[in-house]
């Protein structure tokens, strides 16, 4: 593990940051990627790259995978771009799909080379509960649903090399961004909370703990799966009580 690396996209804050910290604490060499430097010291190497810039991301990945054997990958970066169907713009579609789907494909394409050579590897794609459907999420839900689908394709293609590929689909996670749009005491926050049978929002650590498990030797026989980690909110549209 000491001479191998784990790449986490969208690693400056939220779920990505929590995954980076959890894995670094478990002994992984973490490389973080995001548009901006994190506000606090990062637990590993960090690079500023806008994953929506396909040329810049491709150039970075070509350099990185020549310099360092990346055998684990967490495609976490996300961009919502909420719009009703009649308001969807081509600009939103392009950026949301580029950020959520195309960047993940490129990261997996280049990082899987070292995984194949070492005949081991883990790829985790962070999707969302909203792949099940939600208003204003045509672009975001569609891109993240496609990401869950390609995870299963990669699981089939890469199994012969000992590489596993899984998807984590979180429900609402109490990140800084979520708090901005769902402030404490607001009606929208309470409405979302009421849909969660376990009675609380996820923390970034909840997602990171599952990612850490999927990276472990104990998870070596798990591949092609979608894990809904949402306190039960995806079971039905609302608790029946």
Catalytic residues: 140
CA atoms within 13 A on the CB side of 28: 27
Tell me the two tokens of residue 35: 């548009």
Integer angstrom CA distances of residue 207 from 36, 170, 172: 22, 7, 11
Residues 6+ apart with CB under 8 A from 41: none
| Nearest to 74, CA basis, from 168, 170, 179 | 168
Give the three-state DSSP class for 103: helix
């Amino acid at each position: 593990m000491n001479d191998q690396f784990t790449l986490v996209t969208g690693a400056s804050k939220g779920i990505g940051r929590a995954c980076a910290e959890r894995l670094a604490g478990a002994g992984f060499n973490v490389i973080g990627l995001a548009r901006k430097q994190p506000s606090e010291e990062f637990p590993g190497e960090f690079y500023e790259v806008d994953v929506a810039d396909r040329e810049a991301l491709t150039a970075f990945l070509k350099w990185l995978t020549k310099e360092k054997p990346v055998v684990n990958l967490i495609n976490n970066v996300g961009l919502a771009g909420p719009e009703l169907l009649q308001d969807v713009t081509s600009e939103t579609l392009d950026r949301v799909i580029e950020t959520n789907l195309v960047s993940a494909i490129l990261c997996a394409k280049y990082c899987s080379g070292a995984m194949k050579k070492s005949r081991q590897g883990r790829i985790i794609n962070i999707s969302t509960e909203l792949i099940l459907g939600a208003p204003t999420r045509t672009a975001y839900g569609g891109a993240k649903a496609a990401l869950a689908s390609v995870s299963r394709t990669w699981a089939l293609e890469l199994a012969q090399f000992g590489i596993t590929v899984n998807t984590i689909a979180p429900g609402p996670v109490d990140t800084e961004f979520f708090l901005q749009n769902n402030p404490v005491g607001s009606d929208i926050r309470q409405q979302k909370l009421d849909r969660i049978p376990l009675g609380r929002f996820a923390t970034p650590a909840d997602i990171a703990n599952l990612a850490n498990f999927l990276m472990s030797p104990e998870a070596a026989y798990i591949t092609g799966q979608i894990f809904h980690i949402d306190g039960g909110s995806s079971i039905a549209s609302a608790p029946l009580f």
